[in-house]
Amino acid sequence: MRFRFQRSNRYLWLGIIAVVVIGVVGIAFLTQSSSDITVCSSGCDFATIQAAIDDASTAAGALIEIVDPIHTEAGILVNKDVVIQGRGAENTIVQAHADVEKATQRVFSIAAETSVTIRGITIQHGNPAAEPQSGGAIRNEGELILEACLIRDNLGSAGGGIFNDGTLTLVDCTVSHNTATGGNAYYECNTGGGIKNMAGVVTLINSTVSDNTAKGKGGGLHIACNGTLKLVNSTISGNRTTFDGGGVYINGVGEFTNSTIFGNQAHNGGGVYVRGTGEKGMVRGLLNFSNTIIAGNTITFTDYGNADCTLGDYAAIGVNLNNLIEDGSCDAAYSGDPLLSPLADNGGLTQTHAPSPRSPLIDALAPEMCIVDTDQRGITRPSGAGCEIGAVEYDVE
């Protein structure tokens, strides 16, 4: 492991993270409450989510609870400010079809100028057949908060799991096993196996994006030139693409804090690929990252680029503080093998890569360099003499 700190910009980055964590976490962890409206196949207020939303008596801010363990309904248009709540992602599934290959619509579309929260639900088997085909499970054009949700096994031309053209926040969520399949609309096709951010801000807190696939750029996430991605205490793992950016492809702005990008695969930039547009006066292709691991990623085209982090044309790094990049790319403070364990349930609501007992990450950073007060699982930082780099603190026995 190479020890070489870069301390300039530290206080700028602390200010940025304070705004992100206080501003987002403060609104995202909403308490469970009793439902105003229930939805189930029989014996509830409504038989469908759409009927509950459309009913004239459903006021803005209403809480709609899904009672069915498996609720099959496709093409749900959410055009009111509502909360849609399940009984935990392990207990409540909302799906477009029992078989994703036979589905012809996505599950949810969030309309512009709406503020929606969806919590405690698995959303699966969306597969829109008509344009726009992007956003297999969810297409968001409003303000959407997902809490403790699992987005899995969806297909879309871009954004196999989620397509965002608004403001999207995920807290304690998993986006897994989704595929960006390609389509007719070129500007949207093939990219973002898990999440495609066309424009606006996508924020992931304590969340995992894993095992998603794209035929084009961004196996896990694709951030277009008008988009921003904020990763806080999050894990990007095992995603794949046949083009650039196995974990994350950034054409806009990426801001990573205490996150782990591990075991992804691409043609170039297996972990992260950053490329700007070259437009004068525009902030594009910019990476700001702190206390983050990018390691264990692979590429299929070894004559160009790096396995872990590749800067393409017009790309730039702004804040670069206390990061570990295994292959030494993108001028990180540390390099070398972080000795992470496989993706697993290490506590909390999402799977993570925990440091092994011999990991050089353990207590690598002094307590004053801890930016976020807890890790991805909610464990207090620091848990030992210092903080770990990445999304997970080492468990002190």
Judge whether 210 lies within some domain: yes
Confidence of residue 5 (pLDDT cuts 50, 70, 90): very low
Angle formed at CA 151 by CA 150 and CA 152, multiple of 5 degrees: 105
Judge whether 193 lies within some domain: yes
Q: Is the pLDDT of residue 29 over 80?
A: no
Judge whether 385 lies within some domain: no
Q: pTM value?
A: 0.92
Q: How far is CA 320 from CA 232, 273, 297, in A?
A: 15, 16, 20
Judge whether 378 lies within some domain: no
Cβ-contact 148, 123 below 8 angstroms: no
Per-residue model confidence as pLDDT tens digits over 296-329: 999 997 766 799 999 999 999 999 999 999 999 9
Judge whether 397 lies within some domain: no
| Short-list 337, 386, 379, 336, CA closest to 364 | 386
Per-residue model confidence as pLDDT tens digits over 222-276: 999 999 999 999 999 999 998 999 999 999 999 999 999 999 999 999 999 999 8
pLDDT at 226: 92
Cβ-contact 90, 54 below 8 angstroms: no
pLDDT at 33: 54
CATH number for 79? 2.160.20
Q: How far is CA 33 from CA 83, 109, 164, 188, 386, in A?
A: 10, 24, 27, 38, 38
Judge whether 262 lies within some domain: yes
Q: Which of 25-34, 167-176, 186-195, 206-215 has the lowest mean pLDDT?
A: 25-34
pLDDT at 395: 86
pLDDT at 397: 65
Query: Domains in the chain: how many in total?
Result: 1
Q: Is the peptide bond before 132 cis (omega within 30 degrees of 0)?
A: yes
Judge whether 384 lies within some domain: no
Judge whether 97 lies within some domain: yes
Cα first-last separation, the chain: 25
Angle formed at CA 236 by CA 269 and CA 123, multiple of 5 degrees: 125
Token digits for 262?
Answer: 């591990």
Sign of CA dihedral 325, 310, 319, 226: negative
Which residue range is the domain that position 18 belongs to?
Answer: 10-369
Angle formed at CA 202 by CA 194 and CA 314, multiple of 5 degrees: 90
Cβ-contact 363, 336 below 8 angstroms: no
pLDDT at 35: 72
Block residue for tokens 């799991």: 161
Looking at every residue in the chain, the average pLDDT score rounds to 90
